[in-house]
Amino acid sequence: MSDDAKLILASASSRRLALLQQVGLEPHSLVATDIDETPLKSEAGRSLAKRLAKTKAEAALVRVERASERRDAYILAADTVVSVGRRILPKTDLLDEASQCLRLLSGRAHRVHTGVALITPSGQFRERLVETRVRFKRLSTLEFENYLACGEWRGKAGGYAIQGIASAFVIKLIGSYSNVVGLPLYETCTLLAGEGFPVHDSWLGMR
């Protein structure tokens, strides 16, 4: 592996960038992708998360090759999907969407799947799928209305951000917390290190 290995994050998500920075990984560049995230007919949440992560990585690869950034580049992509049973919840942009999601999540358990996709400098494709189970308390009318009013739900899968106010709704969480935020750090670091990326080198300069 070259000492000039670069990590390219195929995302414009500030949450995923912050999570990588939390463990000392600073991407060389961010490559936002614009793909159709509509679930296929009868597609399960776990399958959707894997498919979208792979599609994002492949789309970023095309852009990187056009910009001549491919040399020594590791392309990392991820997608997070929230589901209740076989029902996939949207990334909420509208108040009505967020309201429907909160009503469905209130007092119930749900699953959060994140697909992580990696394309190595040699062109190898690797992936991981991580599942976390989360249970919400039954929301009071005040909690429900005030959470919608705060706007924190905008653009969030399932209509909530666990790292924000919605953490007060969580009764139980089984699995990776960072997965629910948007990127499972243990699995991501293990995947990168296993493919030769110097994950731990930056730790020497952290204080």
Give catalytic residues, as residue numbers: 79
Measured CA to CA, the distance from residue 25 to residue 107 in angstroms comes to 37
156 neighbors 113 (Cβ within 8 angstroms): no
CB burial of residue 84 (10 Å; 0-12, 13-18, 19+): middle
φ, ψ for residue 186, nearest 5 deg:
-60, -50
| Residue 98, SS3 per DSSP | helix
What's the token pair of residue 137?
């308390």
Can you list the alpha helix ranges (DSSP code H) found in the chain? 14-22, 45-66, 95-105, 141-150, 177-181, 185-194
